[in-house]
Amino acid sequence: MSNRFEIEDSFLNEQNAKTKKWIDEDFDHLAHVLKRRELDIEDLVAKAQSFRVAVPSWGVGTGGTRFARFPGPGEPRDIYEKIEDCATIFKLVRCTPAVSLHIPWDKPDDPDDLREFARSRGLAFDAMNSNTFQDQPGQNLSYKFGSLTHPDAAVRRQAVEHNIECIEIGRVLGSKAHSVWVADGGNFPGQMHFRRALERYLESVREIYNALPDDWRVFLEHKFYEPAFYSTVINDWGTSYYCASQLGPKACCLVDLGHHAPNVNIEMIVSRLIQFGKLAGFHFNDSKYGDDDLDAGSIKPFQLFLIFNELVDAELSNAAGFDPAYMLDQSHNVTDPIESLMVSAAELTRAYVQAHLIDRAALSEAQEKCDPLMALTVLKSAFTTDVSPILARARERSGGAIDPIAAYRASGYRRFKQEERPAQATIAAGIV
Ligand code: RM4
Ligand code: MN
Ligand code: MN
C-alpha cells in the first residue's frame, strides 16, 4: 500500500504555518473575552481535544436519493479504501479515531487483517450496524415484508442470525457495541398487527441480546417512518425505551437526529433517556424535512447546541450510567464526503465546547427564580460565542490541521485518489 497517496506530516506543518498568525491573534482575543466571564480558554481547548466521534464506513462513499446517485471522483471501492479515507479525516481533524461498520456493505473477508490495517493508521472500530432492510444477492428469504418481526419465523431467524454474525465480526475487530435499526413496518393501515409485531421484535432482539459478549451493549435505533410510510415497529423513543428496559442492562436507546417528526423536542428526549440511564448515543446528522441525512449542524445548529447542553449537564453532574457513543450517520450526495465529515465533526466539537461555556450557576438561578428571559439569555450567550479559535488550536495541539478543508484541498488528495481508484460500475457505497 506504500504507493498510495497519503497526506504527509511535513505538508500539514507547512499548511499550519500559513494559518498560524490569525489563530494566534484570534485565540488571544477570545482568551480575554472568556477571562471576563471567568473561563480559562486552556480548559476549553482541553475539552475540545477530548471530544470523540466515530465516522461511518458508509459515509465516505457518495450517497444518493431514491432518484439518483451521482458518483464523485476517486470514491473508495472497498472497505480498505474507505478506511484510508477515514484515516485521512482522522489525520486532519484528530477527533475521529474510530469507524462504525455497516454489514454486509463493508463486510471484511478477513476481519483480523482489516483490524490491523486500521490499527496501523491509528483507527479502531466503533459500533457494528446490521442491515436487514435490503435483500443481498443469493439471500435465501426476502425482507420485503419485514425481518426481525416478519410473520414467517424462518425470515426472523435469518435476520437474527445476520445480527449475530455482525457481533461475531465486531468481536474480532475490537468493537464493543451493536446497533440495530429495524426498517420493519407497514405501508397500509391493517397491513401489520401492531402488538404482534412488537412482540416478535422483542423475541428476536432478545436472541441478539443473548449473543452479546459480556462487555458489549446493543443500541436500539428508532425511526418514525421510511422505508415504511404508514407505521414503523420501533417508531419512537418511548417504544425503544420500553424494549431496552425489557431486554436488560446491556440494551439502550440510540438517537438518530433525523428520525423524529419535524419540530419534535429532541433535546428533551435526550434528557429523558439520560435520566432513565438508557441513552446509548447518537447518529448525528441534520435535517429539514425527514431523515435527510444532511451534515451535522447545517440546518439547526441551535438544536444541536441544546442537545449538547443536556449532554454536558449530564457529564458535569456525573449522571449515573452516562456513557454515550457518538457517531455520524450522514449521506453525502452533493459534497465530497471527506469534507462533509470533517466539517460535521468540527460542528459537533463546536456544540460541545459551546455547551461548556454555559454559566450553569446563572442558568440554575434563572430557573429557580422563574426568570425565563434570563435563562434563555444565558444559553444564547454561550451559543453566540464563536469558539472557532479553540477548535483550531485543539486540532493543532493534537497534531491535526488548523484549517482542515484548506489543507485537504491543497493536498490534492482527491485528485491522487482519482488516479489510484479508477471508477467501477458497481460501487456499493453510500445510501441510495
Ligand atoms: C437508516 C438508519 C440507520 C442507517 C441506515 C443506512 O435510516 O439511520 O442507522 O444505518 O439508514
Ligand atoms: Mn442512523
Ligand atoms: Mn436514518
pLDDT in tens, 278-306: 999 999 999 999 999 999 999 999 999 99
Distances (CA, A) of 378 to 29, 39, 178, 390: 21, 14, 38, 20
How far is it, in rounded angstroms, from Cα 89 to Cα 405?
Answer: 10
Q: For 23-64, write each residue's pLDDT tens digit.
A: 999 999 999 999 999 999 999 999 999 999 999 999 999 999
CA-based nearest residue to 121, from 80, 60, 169, 178: 80
Reported as a pLDDT band with limits 50, 70 and 90, residue 10 is very high
Q: CA-CA distance, 315 to 318, in Å (whole number)?
A: 5
User: Ligand 2 being an ion, which residues bring their Cβ within 5 A of it?
Assistant: 256, 283, 329
pLDDT at 2 over 90: no
d(CA 359, CA 362): 5
Where does residue 20 rank: exposed (0-12), middle (13-18), buried (19+ CB within 10 A)? exposed
Tell how many helices (H) and how many strands (E) occur in the chain.
Answer: 15, 10
Task: Return the sign of the alpha-carbon dihedral for residues 311, 314, 316, 320.
Answer: negative
Q: What is the pLDDT of residue 425?
A: 63
Over its C-alpha atoms, the chain yields an Rg (Å, rounded) of 22
| Ligand 1 residue neighbourhood (C-beta within 6 Å) | 102, 129, 181, 221, 223, 256, 283, 291, 329, 431
Q: How far, in Å, from the CA of 258 to the mean position of ligand 3?
A: 6
Span from the CA of 419 to the centroid of ligand 2 (angstroms)? 32
CB atoms within 10 A of CB 178: 26
Q: What is the pLDDT of residues 173-205, one digit of tens each?
A: 999 999 999 999 999 999 999 999 999 999 999
Residues 60-104: tens digit of each pLDDT: 999 999 899 999 999 999 999 999 999 999 999 999 999 999 999
Q: What are phi and psi of 220, to 5 degrees?
A: -95, 120
Confidence of residue 423 (pLDDT cuts 50, 70, 90): confident
Distance 128 CA to ligand 2 centre (A): 12
Handedness of CA 184, 187, 191, 195 (dihedral sign): positive
Among 256, 285, 332, residue to substitute to test ligand 1 (most atoms within 8 Å of Cβ): 256
Q: For residue 424, what pLDDT is reported?
A: 74
Ligand 1 atom with minimal separation from the 221 CA: 9
| pTM beyond 0.95 | yes
d(C-alpha 193, C-alpha 87), whole Å: 46
- Mean pLDDT for 344-358 is 98
pLDDT tens per residue across span 320-339: 999 999 999 999 999 999 99
What does the mean pLDDT of the chain come to? Answer: 96
Contact between residue 193 and residue 146 where contact means Cβ atoms under 8 Å apart:
no
Residue 21 confidence class, pLDDT cut points 50, 70, 90? confident
Contact status, residue 276 vs residue 241, Cβ threshold 8 Å: yes
Check whether 428 has a pLDDT greater than 60.
Answer: no
CA–CA separation, 193 vs 220, rounded Å? 21
In the reported structure, the alpha carbon of residue 400 is separated from the centroid of ligand 1 by a whole-number distance in angstroms of 30
- Which ligand number lies closest to the CA of residue 100? 1
Dig out the grid coordinates for 44 from the structure.
Answer: 476549553
Q: Phi/psi at 400 (nearest 5 deg)? A: -100, -160
Of 123, 18, 77, 34, which is closest to residue 409 (Cα–Cα)? 18
432 pLDDT band, cuts 50/70/90, is low
> Whose alpha carbon is nearest atom 6 of ligand 1?
431
What is the mean predicted confidence (pLDDT) over 340-363? Answer: 98
Report helix angle 372-383 to 301-316, nearest 10. Answer: 100
Ligand located closest to 102 CA: 1
Q: Which atom of ligand 1 is nearest to the CA of 179?
A: 9
Q: Which ligand is nearest to the CA of 226?
A: 1
Which tens digit of pLDDT belongs to each residue from 112-163?
999 999 999 999 999 999 999 999 999 999 999 999 999 999 999 999 999 9
What's the 256 CA to ligand 2 centre distance in angstroms? 5
Query: pLDDT tens across 205-251, in order?
Result: 999 999 999 999 999 999 999 999 999 999 999 999 999 999 999 99
Residue 246: CB atoms within 10 A of its CB come to 12
Q: Could you check whether the bond before residue 104 is cis, i.e. omega within 30 degrees of 0? A: yes
Beta-bridge mates of residue 101 = 128
- Joined together, the cell numbers standing for residue 368 give 429557580
Is 427's pLDDT higher than 90? no
* Most ligand 1 atoms within 8 A of CB, residue of 179, 223, 253 to mutate: 223
